Amino acid sequence: MYGSAKVPEDSKRTAFRKAEKKYKLYYDDTSKSSKKRRQPKQVDLSEVLDFKSILESHRQNSDLPPGVVALHSDSDRPLFYLESRPGFYFVPEALSIEEQCQLIRESLTTFPQPPNRTNHNAFYGPLHDLFVAAKEKKVLVEEASVLTSSESECNPSTSNGDVHKWKFCEEHEVSSRGNTCKSISSSALLRKLRWSTLGLQFDWSKRNYNVSLPHNKIPDDLCQLAKRMAAPAMPKGEEFHPEAAIVNYFGMADTLGGHLDDMEADWSKPIVSMSLGCKAIFLLGGKSREDPPLAMFLRSGDIVLMAGEARECFHGVPRIFTDKEHAEIVPIESQFSVEDDICFLEYIRTSRININIRQVF
């Protein structure tokens, strides 16, 4: 078989990679031949920790699964930790439905606004109002022009000095120009939005914070929320200072591979990680990729804290569930109105958003 040399045998894969493979989305080949929509393959979810049911049984004073401990913080929400992963905390249902909807709105409208950068910057330069453009079915069109040097700093340029500027246009404007310029629909761009960065800007190519890039502070309401949520995982007497956040956007087949977040100076401070939209599987490994990871569900409104030793643990998201039965987003769906919020509704029905907030220094 071609390419077989590149595919490692199962025995050569790390334990983390094996778990990623176990949970990732596969389609049933059997339904391909019939013209039905392809169905996701069933996976065995029996070993996935489910903090929703752990919370329910805890509320009924039932036993917790082995290795899971409940803590009672100042708020009325219990948080759980794992004996095997010191510094990792799980707060199920930490965000109210209203907070979730507000964060979903902001993640799609204000958070990706320049000077915040997104994955689209490298190719298109800064894009304003992508969500509005998608709502209005606009098209992003390339216009080659020669710019001044200060303008070209924020625009990707070609070797001949032409700068490719992209502009949102009405659909009819594009068709009247003919096929001479490159274009892409703004709804396709919204679907391809993978990340945006708030506060100090993270440079993905160098995997560090580029403090010289222009940036705004983390919005105040998000900052207050993160401070409140971080409190139980903070070293005694210290306050969390949110300085940067990465917003991850996941479509149906998107995953986040196993990684460490190691570019912050002080690992005693937690990363505050919020889940919105469709349910996901989160893998929490150990300090080596060879350590078998624990799998757990992350639902809309759950918050995870990773501090101390847990900052050294590999983690990732191999799967999101976008089907009605498993996505578990009915409460947030019913909060968005069909008349005014149809675009948010359509987006979140098949997507997950993760906001993770960090103190960098």
Is 315 near ligand OGA (CB under 6 A)?
Answer: yes
Is 291 near Mn ion (CB under 5 A)?
Answer: no
Q: Taking contact as CB under 5 A, which single stretch among the options 93-101, 162-170, 256-264, 338-346 is the one that binds Mn ion?
A: 256-264
Partners of residue 164 on adjacent β-strands:
144
Does 259 count as an annotated binding residue?
A: yes
CA distance linking residue 78 with residue 229, whole number of Å: 12
Is 261 near Mn ion (CB under 5 A)?
Answer: yes
Q: Residue 201 or residue 356: which is nearer to ligand OGA going by CB?
A: 356
Is 312 near Mn ion (CB under 5 A)?
Answer: no
Is 267 near ligand OGA (CB under 6 A)?
Answer: no
Shortest distance (Å) from residue 273 CB to ligand OGA: 5
CA distance linking residue 240 with residue 262, whole number of Å: 17
Q: Residue 163 or residue 355: which is nearer to ligand OGA going by CB?
A: 355
Site string for ligand OGA, 187-226 (x = CB under 6 A): ----------------------------------------
8: DSSP letter: -
Shortest distance (Å) from residue 22 CB to ligand OGA: 18
Q: Residue 125 or residue 277: which is nearer to ligand OGA going by CB?
A: 277
Q: What is the identity of the amino acid at 245? A: A
Does 261 count as an annotated binding residue?
A: yes
282 binds, among ligand OGA, Mn ion, none (CB under 5 to 8 A by kind): ligand OGA
Q: Residue 118 or residue 354: which is nearer to ligand OGA going by CB?
A: 354
The CA-CA-CA angle for residues 97, 102, 108, to 5°, reads 130
Q: Is the dihedral of CA 145, 146, 148, 149 positive or negative?
A: positive
Is 282 near ligand OGA (CB under 6 A)?
Answer: yes
Residue 143, both tokens: 């216009």
Q: What is the identity of the amino acid at 144? A: A
Shortest distance (Å) from residue 280 CB to Mn ion: 13
Q: Are 129 and 111 in contact (CB under 8 A)?
A: no
Among candidate residues 346, 319, 345, the one with its CA nearest the CA of residue 332 = 345
The CA-CA-CA angle for residues 153, 155, 157, to 5°, reads 95
* H runs (alpha helix) in the chain: 15-23, 30-33, 51-59, 97-108, 121-124, 130-135, 149-152, 171-177, 186-191, 220-230, 324-327, 330-335, 342-349
Q: Residue 261 or residue 328: which is nearer to Mn ion going by CB?
A: 261
Is 171 near Mn ion (CB under 5 A)?
Answer: no
CA distance linking residue 283 with residue 77, whole number of Å: 23
Is 272 near ligand OGA (CB under 6 A)?
Answer: no
300 binds, among Mn ion, ligand OGA, none (CB under 5 to 8 A by kind): none
Shortest distance (Å) from residue 17 CB to ligand OGA: 17
118 binds, among Mn ion, ligand OGA, none (CB under 5 to 8 A by kind): none
Q: Please provide the distance, in angstroms rounded to a whole number, between the alpha carbons at the two ends of the chain.
A: 50
Is 311 near ligand OGA (CB under 6 A)?
Answer: no
The CA-CA-CA angle for residues 171, 147, 180, to 5°, reads 35
317 binds, among Mn ion, ligand OGA, none (CB under 5 to 8 A by kind): ligand OGA
Among candidate residues 180, 211, 177, 178, the one with its CA nearest the CA of residue 197 = 211
Q: Are 272 and 303 in contact (CB under 8 A)?
A: yes
- Interface with ligand OGA (CB under 6 A), residue from 278, 317, 329, 357: 317
Residues in the annotated binding site for Fe cation: 259, 261, 315
Q: Please give the residue ranges that form the binding site for ligand OGA (CB under 6 A).
A: 246, 248, 256, 261, 273, 275, 282, 298, 315, 317, 354, 356
> Which spans of this chain sit near Mn ion (rule: CB under 5 A)?
261
Going by the annotation, the residues of the binding site are 259, 261, 315
